[in-house]
């Protein structure tokens, strides 16, 4: 035995088992029976030939393949959020165009002299709120936590064959829509304010609305800003965010953390919502660790400290909208009533929109 793996250990010849080789002969005859094919590739090909859609494969249920590394999950969450935000921006122009003919100004507020074409009017403010609410609903529908429960052609075919599955699926969809509606109602105003603040980082003493018009801090009262919301956005949000040099990844993470509020009213499945929020909290912590020691120190905490001010300013904006409707300064549409004012008489518009296919998906296909 002159094999390289043969060694002398304590004067005894030892051969490791990995040095041995086994030879088997095969007559190439495959036994065919009625048992299920154990080859996963063959089973998949057979399903596709039978009419199954390849995009219906649920990879998250695959327990055999290579597991995702935990450290990559945070990055993947941020990538998904960035994709949703990108799709939301692609839809923005069509949403703005759809509100061109809508008027929110009732004419009771004295018209002020506009010195710059980009300065916003009361009508621009109403349009901007509506546009951001529409985009917010579409953004929520694009999130993986919601997108997995839409009816497609394959599901419809399955429904016809299995009535029990019909009731199960419809119940799950109804519960998911109820959950998403509750989250939207609880966080819509805060997410709108966060978006305005992030959009205004490059402007001095002005905020930038969704339709790219500006409201200078010194002229906010001319458009019915009774509670000085514009000034508070600039002082309490824009300035600290500019000091932190907040980037798009951190913005979308904060947006998701706001949205998944487990203690929001009418949230039944608080555990699922809380788990989603924790996942995004971990993602933003990991993101902050990528900076240098000087920048990353307490950065995640400093970002989260923006949320109390954000909530307070959002409440002031809600009061402004309530006063505008009460005194007839501006028209308030049903979407604002349901998501901003929580008016139950406007019940149904958001759920109908959530039940429809995601427009952002249609935009890019």
More confident residue, 224 or 141: 141
Q: What pLDDT band is residue 165 in, cutting at 50, 70 and 90?
A: very low
Q: Which two tokens stand for residue 309?
A: 């001010």
Ramachandran area for residue 151 (φ above 0: left; ψ -120 to 50: alpha; else beta)? beta
pLDDT for 231 equals 93
Please tell me which of 44-58, 245-259, 288-302, 336-350 the model is most confident about, judged by mean pLDDT: 245-259
Report the alpha-carbon distance of residue 195 to residue 139 in Å, rounded: 13
Residues 56-82 have a mean pLDDT of: 66
Say how far apart CA 135 and CA 297 lie, in whole Å: 34
pLDDT confidence of residue 152: 41
Q: Share the mean pLDDT of the chain.
A: 76
| Weakest-pLDDT range from 36-45, 240-249, 343-352 | 343-352
Query: Which is more confidently placed, 338 or 149?
Result: 338
Confidence of residue 224 (pLDDT cuts 50, 70, 90): confident
- Domain ranges in the chain are 71-364
Task: Please list, in sequence order, all residues whose beta carbon lies within 8 angstroms of the beta carbon of residue 171, skipping any fewer than 6 positions away.
Answer: none
pLDDT on residue 158: 43
CB 332 within 8 A of CB 127: no
Q: Which DSSP letter does residue 220 get?
A: G
**Angle at which helices 270-288 and 70-98 cross, to 10°:** 100
pLDDT band at 270 (very low <50, low <70, confident <90, very high): confident
pLDDT for the residue 357: 57
Average pLDDT over residues 43-61: 69
Residue 119 has phi, psi (to 5 degrees) of -70, 135
pLDDT-derived band at 70, boundaries 50, 70, 90 = very low
Averaged pLDDT for residues 218-225: 80
Task: Between 24 and 278, name the one with better pLDDT.
Answer: 278
More confident residue, 345 or 207: 207
Q: What is the mean pLDDT of residues 338-347?
A: 73
**Higher per-residue pLDDT: 160 or 121:** 121
Tokens found for residue 219? 């002229």
What count of Cα atoms within 13 Å lies in the side-chain half-sphere of residue 316? 17
pLDDT (average), residues 208-234: 87
* Predicted TM-score (pTM) of this structure: 0.70
Element (H, E) at 74: helix 70-98
SS3 at position 214: strand
Does position 67 have pLDDT exceeding 90, yes or no? Answer: no
pLDDT over 90 (residue 332):
no
Q: How confident is the model at residue 364 (pLDDT cuts 50, 70, 90)?
A: very low
Q: What is the CATH number of domain 71-364?
A: 1.10.565.10
Q: CA of 281: how far to CAs of 192, 241, 250, 261, 274, in Å?
A: 20, 18, 10, 12, 10
DSSP strand pairing (12-15 vs 6-9):
antiparallel
pLDDT digits over 13-35, tens only?
655 555 555 555 666 665 666 66
* Candidate from 105-109, 128-132, 158-162, 285-289 with smallest mean pLDDT: 158-162
Kindly state the percentage of the chain with pLDDT values over 70.
66
Q: What is the model's pLDDT at position 354?
A: 56
Mean pLDDT across the stretch 146-168? 45
């Amino acid at each position: 035995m002159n094999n390289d793996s043969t060694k002398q250990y304590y004067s005894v010849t030892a051969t490791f088992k990995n040095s041995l080789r086994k030879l088997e002969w095969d007559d190439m005859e495959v036994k065919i029976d009625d048992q299920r094919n154990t080859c996963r590739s063959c089973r998949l090909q057979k399903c596709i030939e039978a009419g199954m859609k390849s995009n219906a494969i649920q990879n998250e249920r695959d327990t055999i393949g290579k597991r995702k590394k935990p450290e990559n999950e945070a990055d993947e969450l941020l990538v998904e959020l960035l994709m949703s935000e990108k799709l939301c921006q692609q839809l923005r122009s069509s949403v703005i165009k759809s509100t061109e003919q809508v008027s929110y100004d009732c004419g009771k507020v004295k018209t002020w002299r506009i010195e710059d074409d980009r300065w916003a009017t009361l009508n621009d403010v109403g349009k901007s709120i509506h546009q951001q609410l529409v985009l917010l609903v579409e953004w929520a529908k694009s999130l993986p936590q919601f997108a997995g429960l839409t009816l497609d052609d394959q599901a419809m075919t399955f429904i016809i064959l299995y009535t029990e599955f019909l009731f199960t699926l419809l119940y799950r969809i109804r519960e998911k829509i109820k959950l998403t509606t509750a989250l939207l109602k609880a966080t819509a105003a805060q997410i709108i304010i966060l978006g305005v603040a992030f959009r205004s980082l490059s402007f001095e003493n002005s905020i930038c609305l969704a339709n790219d018009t500006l409201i200078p801090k010194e002229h906010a009262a001319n458009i019915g800003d009774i509670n000085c919301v514009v000034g508070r956005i600039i002082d309490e949000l824009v300035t600290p965010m500019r000091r932190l040099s907040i980037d798009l990844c951190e913005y979308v993470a904060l947006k998701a953390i706001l949205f998944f509020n487990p203690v929001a009213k009418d949230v039944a499945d608080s555990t699922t919502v809380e788990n989603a929020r924790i996942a995004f909290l971990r993602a933003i912590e990991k993101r902050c660790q990528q900076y240098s020691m000087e920048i990353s120190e307490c950065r995640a905490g400093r970002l989260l400290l923006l949320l109390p001010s954000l909530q307070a300013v959002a409440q002031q904006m809600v009061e402004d909208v309530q006063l505008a409707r009460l005194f007839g300064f501006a028209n308030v549409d049903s979407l604002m009533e349901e998501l901003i004012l929580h008016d139950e008489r406007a019940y149904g518009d958001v759920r109908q929109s959530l039940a429809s296919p995601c427009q952002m998906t249609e935009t890019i296909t």
